[in-house]
Amino acid sequence: MPVRHLVLFVPCLVLPVLAGPNLLPDGGFEQGTWELTTWMPCRATHELAGPAHAGEKAVHLVGIEAKPENLNVLAISQPFKVQGGREYLVSVWYRTAGAPGAMLGWSAFREPFATAKWKTPSAQYENDPLPNSDIWWLGTWRLRAGDQAVEACLLVRLGGVGEVWYDDAGVVEVVPDALRLSDPPLFEGPGRVTLRAAVKLPAETGWTVAVLGGETAAEQVGKGTGEAQLSFAAGAGDGLQLVLTGDPDGGVVAALPLTVPPPLEIEVVKPRYRQTIFATSPDRELRVLLRLNATPAVLQKTRSKVTETTGTGGSSVLGPGVGAPPGASLTLTIKAPGRTRIQVSATGPLGELATETAFTVLPRGTPHEVYVDDQQRLRVDGKPFFARGFYGVPDEPAHFTHIAEAGYNTVLTYNRDPAWQKTWLDHAAEAGLMGVVSVPFEPGKLDADKLRAGIGLVKGSPGLLGYYLIDEPSPARPGQSPQDLQAVYDAVVAEDPYHPVTICIDQPALEGLYTACSDILMIDPYVVLDRRRPLSHVADRMEHAWSAVAGRQAVINIPQTFGWDVIEGLDKPPSYLTPTPDEMRSLWYLALAGGARGMLAYCYHVYTRYDPAKKAAGGWPWTLGGYLPDKQPVLWGTLKQLGQETQALEPWLMADGQGRGRVGEVQERRFELRDGKLHLDLPPRGTAAVLIK
């Protein structure tokens, strides 16, 4: 992540971050009420000490070594009251040294925290990473409290080797439409940017709108409802924050993260997936928007030129302007494989500008072409494919048969041995299944030649659906940053452009970080816990995931099909519980109603014993005792029904224009097959039923 080196100094923002009502107790850390602790055994220190951003004390966390386990050092606030479903703005000033994996955490509860401390039923648990900053920087995080939340604790964290200081933290309920961007950052001259923002506060409330992150100061004051127009020095790619502070004491009311766009850019409309057209693509049209991100005065004096270079026999038509002149849309119809490059140049008050983008048209892939279309559906050889299946399937033909007969079509393996994967894929294909294989690399130890050789061994397998990049990465862990994984993704795609790369993300705030190094986002919203989350958490995660990918990727849900309550030898009560049939059906259909483009359940294998001594010695403590059909027969019976029902629903799930939406208050509702029809009760409100034939 980028290190912050420049900051715009805004006098009002050196005060405590939030004005009343600041819900967070002791946000300045001066009273010493926060709990400083580590959640894993590691070499680390924590203290309340200076230098502080304001006052005398700050939280100072130091990660020395991730041994014997990962670094997980944190300070935990006293609980504070929240209302489920409301939006909150979390703010904190922080600075870093090294790569400490600075992160904010939010833990919300369905009952007062005093009820059972950390055993209080959970409503929500999320984390949000903060970029490294060698100066004091304002970190902000806007999130929605879980539907049943009544109290929450804020966590400030360290997850890597380095140091982080936190000070002046706070939580405030979001004021609707308090700050809205009227005009995005636009260039008014070389290196000079302007923007407009609308402010909506009570009539007598004074306010200041300011920019953090530009090279020169910019702020404007006002009262009540009004507008701010700011002009400042900045360059393309600069990360900014637009911050609204309000009277009486300058606390933050709203904050909008912004990135200064390039003066001239090409926005790809289609195809979005890798900017690539496949031989089996139903749509062979390329479309882009050409944008000059400048003020009207600059636009009027700018002349642009578009050059298309193609050896494909394609034809181009320059359409009418889409944005302010001289913006335009460009459409190309492609007839043959090859590369098409679009170059745009412009001359005017901003000087000589140029940019370009390229598209690829691939020859027919064999034995299959697998890709994501512009409605975020998987396609195999041009036909929509709804992936449904399981993690953790062994290379045993009987299990492939069980899974196929239950209505499933996809399996996933963690095994990274390409030779083993090839045999596994062959056996899966014989049963009519397709497989997702783990990319053969270790985080932080990329051997590009070995990786390419491994991909080369499996890429021609008839049963290959795609690649699994990594499970639940964290930017704080070595080799798991988006930049690290980008190199792995690029190597995989260069060797095999005909299969997508998937990634599993467990924290909502991380979903948007890894979109450049994956093609399919997989999320695992496990809810059946000893500290139960509401089943509606599944719907919340689906909604958040679609927002994070912004129409650029497919989203696949990973339903929970395991529980530690069947494991012997645990040294503490089981954290995860086996879903009941009603719970299983509800969380499954909540994901489908949320627009899932696939369902790959974790997991098919069943652990039956845990050995704490092996864990203490650094070994693998879990004993594989069998698989769902024999070890979890009740759950497997429900999953067989769900597989067959989902198979029957596939034409509807994959239909053109199939929408998605938040399910609302559905918790543990039954979904039944009656008279040969599937009856789904999926109301956005109330009890309106939907009948799907």
Distances in Å between the Cα of 666 and the Cα atoms of 177, 361, 521, 545, 639 are 29, 44, 24, 19, 20
Could you tell me what percent of the chain has a pLDDT over 70? 87
Distances in Å between the Cα of 295 and the Cα atoms of 82, 148, 404, 412, 469 are 42, 46, 59, 51, 42
pLDDT at 676 over 60: no
Mean pLDDT of 341-352: 89
Letter for the amino acid at 394? Answer: P
pLDDT-derived band at 649 (thresholds 50, 70, 90) equals confident
Write the pLDDT tens digit of every residue in 424-436.
999 999 999 999 9
Strands 520-523 and 43-49: unpaired
Interatomic CA distance for residues 192 and 215, integer angstroms? 10
Write the pLDDT tens digit of every residue in 64-118.
988 777 889 999 999 999 999 899 999 999 999 999 999 999 999 999 998 788 8
Q: Which residues contact 74 (CB under 8 A, 6 or more apart)?
A: 36, 37, 38, 39, 46, 61, 105, 155, 156, 157, 158
pLDDT-derived band at 52 (thresholds 50, 70, 90) equals very high
pLDDT winner (highest mean) among 317-331, 438-452, 662-676 = 438-452
* Contact (CB, 8 A) for 56 and 29: no
Distances in Å between the Cα of 183 and the Cα atoms of 187, 240, 258 are 11, 15, 12
Distances in Å between the Cα of 408 and the Cα atoms of 222, 414, 560, 591, 646 are 60, 19, 16, 16, 9
And the tokens for 207? 């306010």
**Closest to 85 measured CA to CA, from 20, 7, 143:** 143
Write the pLDDT tens digit of every residue in 620-636.
899 999 999 999 999 99
Q: What is the DSSP letter of 580?
A: P
pLDDT at 566 over 60: yes
pLDDT-derived band at 148 (thresholds 50, 70, 90) equals confident
**Closest to 107 measured CA to CA, from 130, 74, 140:** 74
Letter for the amino acid at 344? Answer: V
| Orientation angle between helical segments 418-430 and 397-405, nearest 10 degrees | 50
Q: Which residues contact 404 (CB under 8 A, 6 or more apart)?
A: 431, 432, 433
pLDDT-derived band at 693 (thresholds 50, 70, 90) equals very low
* Cα–chain center distance at 570: 32
pLDDT-derived band at 666 (thresholds 50, 70, 90) equals very low
Backbone angles phi, psi at 272, to 5 degrees: -80, -35
Mean model confidence pLDDT for the chain: 86
Q: What is the DSSP letter of 216?
A: S
pLDDT at 313 over 60: no
User: Burial letters for 493-519: b for 16+ Cβ neighbours within 10 Å, e otherwise?
Assistant: beebbbbbbbbbbbbbbbbbbbbebbb
And the tokens for 167? 């000070």
Q: For the chain, how many residues are written?
A: 693
Could you tell me what percent of the chain has a pLDDT over 90? 61
Range with lowest mean pLDDT among 52-56, 552-556, 575-579, 655-659 = 655-659
pLDDT at 165 over 50: yes
Interatomic CA distance for residues 111 and 490, integer angstroms? 46
Mean pLDDT of 513-538: 89
In order, the DSSP letters of 279-344 are: TT-S--EEEEEEEE-B-HHHHHT-EEEEEEEESS--EEEE---SSSTT-EEEEEE--SSEEEEEEE
Query: What pTM value is reported for the model?
Result: 0.84
When comparing pLDDT for 132 and 10, which is higher?
Answer: 132
Distances in Å between the Cα of 201 and the Cα atoms of 89, 222, 384, 486 are 16, 10, 48, 43
Letter for the amino acid at 412? Answer: L
Interatomic CA distance for residues 497 and 363, integer angstroms? 11
